[in-house]
Amino acid sequence: MIRNVLSIAGSDPSGGAGIQADLKAFSARGVYGMAVLTALTAQNTQGVTGVHLVPPAFVADQINAVFADVRVDAVKIGMIANAGIAEAVAGALADRRGIPIVIDPVMIAKGGAALLAPEAIDVLTRRLLPLATLLTPNLPEAAALLHQPVATNRAEMAAQAEQLRALGPAAVLVKGGHLDSEESPDVLAAADGLHWFEARRVPTKNTHGTGCTLSSALAAELAKGASVPEAVAIAKDYLAGAVAASGSLTVGSGHGPVHHFHALWKDGY
């Protein structure tokens, strides 16, 4: 049975991040993708120049319309933008028990634009994190959620992962891509302790949408029945391949996208 996975996130018209990246990752991982829009953005590989938010009530209407008709096997939550949208998403999902929920706390775009209002962090922490099967912050996002300095080593990463898990998520994956090292380790804090996932850093600037892509691949694997550690291992390997193959794409002049279909397209197409 093909699984159905819902993304609740913003749109990236250049196709590398947000809803567009989520749907590509869902397809690449063999699940049927659905999308609820929280925001329209004007952006490309060089940065975000504008954001137009969807009214919170209509975000909830979209979620409820999907659940009223379609079996949803997992949910990925990306850009929620403000407190009103965070409340609407939390309210619409509060009674959807037993469905894996992956939250990628999108806060800052690659070019530095803020994608989450400061007042929304409290709602995200209080209402959404307790619903999460897995929370997937990068180092700056983990620090922002905890109001702490950004972790600079593995010990600080592990400590912040455990502190975030204490806020309610069943598991937390703190991603080490921002570390100043040749490695790109991620640490998973779960009920059975800490798990480390290793990878060599790929020398490329094509990292647009990596967080969206990883969290969507995780949601796809959870929908298919993988455990959280299994899903992390599979999704991290998939993303590493997508980043390594990104040079075969020629999209934009800034931070280019990863190659979501690297394992499916032969000879580049």
Residues with a known catalytic role: 175, 207, 209-212
Between CA 150 and CA 144 the distance in angstroms is 8
Give the β-pairing of 101-103 and 134-135: parallel
Record the tokens describing residue 110, joined without a space: 């690659």
Contact between residue 174 and residue 143 where contact means Cβ atoms under 8 Å apart:
no
Kindly write down the DSSP assignment for every residue of 63-112, as one continuous string.
HHHHHHHS---EEEE---BSHHHHHHHHHHHTT-TT--EEE----B-TTS
Cβ-based neighbour number of residue 50 at 10 Å: 9
Residue type present at position 266:
K
Record the tokens describing residue 70, joined without a space: 């379609």
Backbone angles phi, psi at 232, to 5 degrees: -65, -45
Residue 108 β-bridge partners? 114
Cβ-based neighbour number of residue 34 at 10 Å: 18
Contact between residue 174 and residue 151 where contact means Cβ atoms under 8 Å apart:
yes
